[in-house]
Chain A
Amino acid sequence: MSILVDADTRVICQGITGKAGAFHAEQCLNYGTKLVGGVTPGKGGTVAGPGLPVFDSCHQAVAATGADATMIFVPAGFAADAAMEAADAGIRLIVLITEGIPTLDMVRLRKVLDDRGVRLIGPNCPGVISPGRCKIGIMPGYIHRPPEPGSKTIGLISRSGTLTYEAVWQCTTRGIAQSTCVGIGGDPVKGLNFIELLEMFQADPETDGIVLIGEIGGSDEEQAAAYIRRHVTKPVVAFIAGRTAPPGRRMGHAGAIISGGEGTAASKIAALEAAGITVVSSPADIGKTVADALA
C-alpha cells in the first residue's frame, strides 16, 4: 500500500500548456502515472504533449476524465485560484508545485480547502510519489525504489526538494524502498504537514519506518516531535537543515527563517531527540542511519 496516491489515481495537470507543465506532465506519464488530461483556460479542445486532451476548465476535465487529483504549474498570481477551481470541480488531492504564491492567498485557500475536506500538498514543493505506481510532481523518478515483498520500506516527509532526492537516493542505493515520498514544501503556510502524514504512515502496513526532513523556521518539527512521542511506534529518522543559518535571513524558502528566536535548528533537534527520534548530524549519513534503524 501507499498513502495519498496509488496506481489508480487519475491525474490532470493545470497549466499543462506552459513549459514546465508540458515537460513534467510528460515525465509523469512516462513514469506510469495515469495522467488523463490538462487544463489551460482558452486552450480547450487542443492536445498537449503526448496526446493529452486539454480542457478550458477543471469542471470539464473532471467530467470527461474522472480525474481525482491535480498537479498545478499555474503562475504564482493565479495558482490559488486554480486550486480553488480544482476543489470546486470535485478534485480530492491538489499538488501545488508553484513557487512564490503570496502568503495571504495561501491563508485564504487553506480555509476554502479545509471547509471542503480537500487535501493539498505544497505549494513550492516537488510533489508526491509512490514509487512504481504514481508520480505527481517534478522529482526524478529513477532515483526511487518501489517496494517489493521482503524489502525494507520507508515513508518520507520533507520540506525540501533536492535534499529529499539526496535522502531518497541514499536509501535506494542501500536497497531500502519507499512506500510514498511527500515533499510538503518550503512555504510558511501550506497544505499537508508532518503530523497528518505521520498519522498516515503509521497506519500504512507497507511502511516500516519514517524519514522526516525538516529545516529552520516555524515550529512544525517541534509539533511533529510531540506527536511522534505519543502516537508513532515505527522508527523515525530525522534530519534538520540549517544549523549554520544566520537568524533573520530567509534561506531560499519563504518559510526558512529564524525570527524572534523561534525556528532554530537547535530547538527542533532538541525536541526530536527528546522524543526518542534519531537525528542525523550529517546529510551524508541519512541512508546509513535509516538502514541501521530498520535493521
Chain B
Amino acid sequence: MKIHEYQSRQLLAAAGVPVPPAEVVETAAGAVEAHRRIGGRVVVKAQVFAGGRGKAGFVRLCADPRETEAAATFMLSNRMISPQTGPAGVAVRKLLVAAAVDVAAEYYVGMVIDRTRLCPVMMVSREGGVEIEEVAARRPEAIVKEWLHPHLGLQLYQVRRLAAAMGLDAPDRFKDCAATLTGLADVFLRHEASLAEINPLVVTADGRVLALDAKLNLDDNAVFRHPEIQALYDDSEENPAERRARAAGLSYIALDGNIGCVVNGAGLAMATMDLIKLHGGEPANFLDVGGSVTPEGAVEAFRIILADPKVRGVLVNIFGGIAKCDLIAEALISAAREVGFNVPVVVRLEGTNVQRARRLLEEARVPGLLTATDLTDAARKVCAAV
C-alpha cells in the first residue's frame, strides 16, 4: 500500500528524522498563508502517488507568495500527466508547502526486504537525488548496505558504518545522520513497510542534515494490524475496475489489450496472459479469481471484464483444484443470463468436476460461448475472434 509523501514525512518526523518546516494545504489561498508562516523561499509539491512530478511541473520552487499562489493554482486546477500516470493523468487534491533550503550535498537512504538474505537491508549512497536503480545499474559500488538482524534490528555499529560511507560521521553531522537512519529503521519495522526511502537526504549550506523527500510503501499483508496506516489510505488514484474487483475479493489488474482473462491462480493467470501474447493477442487484464471463490465473486469477475469497453473477447482458463470447474461454469451461465455476452467467450476447463462443468455448459447453450479442448486451442480461438 502506498501513502503520500506528506504522510510518510509525518511518520518519519515523529520518529526523530530531521525535516524542514512544512504544511499541507488544499487551496491556493492556504498555500499562500503557509508560505507566509514558513517565510523565505518554499517548494510547492503536488501530493500524488505517481512519479515524474518534477518534469511535469508539479514540484516548484517559489521565491514569494505570489509565485506560490500561481504554482498552487496551476497544480490544483490541472491534472498531472507523467509517464507513470497514463494519458488521462491524475487530479491533485493536496499540496505540500515546505521551506526551501540551500543544498550542499545530496544522499540516498533507503530500506527494503532482501529476499535472498531474508532480512531488512538499509542502503545508502552519496549519489542522492537520482533514481537508486540508475545508480545500481551504473555504479553498484556506490551503494553501501547493512543487513538488519531479523530479531534485533539496526545496531549502532551499523549506523556508524553507514554514516561513514556517506561521509557524515564527523561529530557535527553524525547526530542528525544517526537520528535519520535509526528513525527510518524504526518507521520501517514499526509500521511494517516494504519500502522506505529518503531521496534526497541533504546537507545544507549551513551544515544541517535534512530529509527533503519521503516515500513509504507498506506491506499489504500487514496493514490489517495497523489501524494508524489504514487511516492514511487514499484510493482516489486507483483504477475504478481495480477498486471494484478488490471489494469482491478478486485480484485484478487492468492492462492495455483487448482480450479479457478470467483465471484461477496468480501463476496460471500470468501464464494465460503470456499465452495470449504468444498467439498474437494482447491481454486486457490480469485476473485471479482465487481458490476460495464464491459463485457471486465469479459472476462479479465476468461483470467487471465485460464492462471494460476495450474487451473484444474473453478467455476463461480454469484448472479446477479447490475452485471447482462446475462452480465457474455456473457463474458463466449466470453472467451470460444477467449481462449477456456481447463478445465471444472462449472457455477452457480442466481439473476437479470438469465433466459436470462441461455438461452444464452444453445444456445451457449460452450464445457467444466457445469451448476449447486445450490451452493452445483456447488461445488460438480467442485471438482469432478479436
Contacts and interface: CB of A to CB of B under 8 A. Distances in A.
Does chain A bind chain B?
yes
Interface of A: 20, 76-77, 100-108, 110-111, 126, 138-140, 143, 158-166, 169, 186, 188-189, 213, 215-216, 218-220, 223, 239, 241-246, 249-256, 260-261, 265, 281-284
B253 A260 contact: no
18 contacts: A76-B224, A103-B113, A107-B113, A143-B351, A162-B264, A163-B265, A163-B267, A166-B350, A186-B266, A188-B115, A215-B270, A219-B115, A242-B274, A244-B255, A245-B273, A252-B251, A256-B267, A265-B274
B266 A246 contact: no
A252 B286 contact: yes
Contact of A241 (B119, B149, B270, B376): B270
Given A103-B192, A104-B189, A251 B150 contact: no
Given A103-B192, A241-B271, A253 B136 contact: no
A53 to B, nearest CB: 25
B267 A159 contact: yes
Given A107-B118, A218-B115, A251-B270, A102 B253 contact: no
Interface residues of B, number: 57
Contacts of A139: 321
Contact of A284 (B119, B225, B283, B379): B379
Given A126-B321, A244-B283, A245-B286, A107 B277 contact: no
B221 interface: yes
B120 interface: yes
B267 A250 contact: no
A106 B269 CA distance: 25
Interface in B110-128: 113, 115-116, 118-120
Contacts of A189: 113, 115, 118
Majority secondary structure of chain B interface residues (helix, strand, loop or mixed): mixed
B351 A140 contact: yes
B118 A169 contact: no
Contacts of A223: 116
Interface in B214-228: 219-222, 224-225
Given A139-B321, A143-B351, A284-B375, A108 B151 contact: yes
A265 B270 CA distance: 11
A106 to B, nearest CB: 8
Contacts of B132: 260
Given A161-B321, A162-B319, A244-B274, A250 B120 contact: no
B277 A284 contact: no
Contact of B265 (A140, A161, A218, A239): A161
B288 interface: yes
B327 to A, nearest CB: 14
B23 to A, nearest CB: 30
Interface string B227-260: 0000000000000000000000001010100000
Interface in B296-318: none
A5 B84 CA distance: 47
Given A140-B351, A161-B321, A249 B270 contact: no
B137 interface: yes
